[in-house]
Amino acid sequence: MKKKIVVLTGAGVSAESGFATFRDQGGLWEKYPVEKVATPEGWRENPDFVNEFYNGLRHQLVEAQPNAAHKLLAQLEKDYDVVVVTQNVDNLHERAGSTKVIHLHGELMKVCSSDDPEDPRYVRELTSGHLDVLPTDKAADGSRLRPFIVWFGEAVPEIERAAAECMNADIMLIIGTSLQVYPAAGLIRYCPQHIPVYLIDPKEVATPHGYDVTVIKDIASKGMERLLKMLPRP
């Protein structure tokens, strides 16, 4: 049986693909206040503005390509049972070939009902040929389509599934996340304490006590190359 690797990824894994990050210096939050484009209140106040923001992001996303870090993570599936838990809303992991991806904060290429965002019956995936959602576009329940994104102040429906995967992990890998955004940052606490944990990030990241964390201070692609030489042989 293959050992299970649970990977928690953040914006740092997609930064090398040229896809705009939110929190870093020069990120989207500096140009677009979070309360305007990433909260239920912002949506209620000006849905057209929010809609155009995410339409623009989708156009950026289809131009971006998976980078070496995404591809190396996908290649790990040859030797390990790999589950990627991502805070990112892009689909770069899937496009690189990862087959088990849990999106904690939603998916940019999907839209849903504005009345019932979590109802899977009303979730629809967009295509590269149809990226723009119009104000007149409706979900199957008749409500206006909204981005399938978990906004600030909303529940994170996939967190329980992610926690369950962490409980069964043999190895945990954390890439490109500051471990400051909850509940995602708390997932390491669900991992067995005896397992090895690897953290890849060029910046200083505070790691929780009680875990054997090996820090690889590098960007995601270079860090993954170094990690492959350190992982226990399957």
Q: Which residue has the higher pLDDT, 212 or 163?
A: 163
Domains of the chain from N-terminus onward? 1-19+66-105+155-234 (3.40.50.1220), 31-63+109-149 (3.30.1600.10)
- Residue 3: per-residue pLDDT: 96
Choice among 59, 103, 105, 209 that is catalytic:
105
In the structure, what pLDDT confidence band is assigned to residue 232 with cuts at 50, 70 and 90?
A: confident
- A 10 A CB-CB count for 118 gives 13
Token pair for 192: 């067995």
- What is the tens place of the pLDDT at every residue in 104-155? 999 999 999 999 999 999 999 999 899 999 999 999 999 999 999 999 999 9
Sequence-distant (≥ 6) Cβ neighbours of residue 61 within 8 angstroms: 19, 90, 91, 108, 109
* Residue 105 annotated to the active site: yes
Q: In this prediction, what percent of the chain has a pLDDT beyond 70?
A: 94
Q: What is the largest CA-CA distance in the chain?
A: 54
Residue 34 has pLDDT above 90, yes or no: no
**pTM exceeds 0.85, yes or no:** yes
Q: How many Å apart are CA 111 and CA 143, to the nearest integer?
A: 12
Q: In this prediction, what percent of the chain has a pLDDT beyond 90?
A: 76
Tokens 């209620």 belong to which residue? 44
Residue 26 has pLDDT above 60, yes or no: no
The arithmetic mean of pLDDT across residues 38-62, rounded, is: 93
Q: How many Å apart are CA 44 and CA 38, to the nearest integer?
A: 11
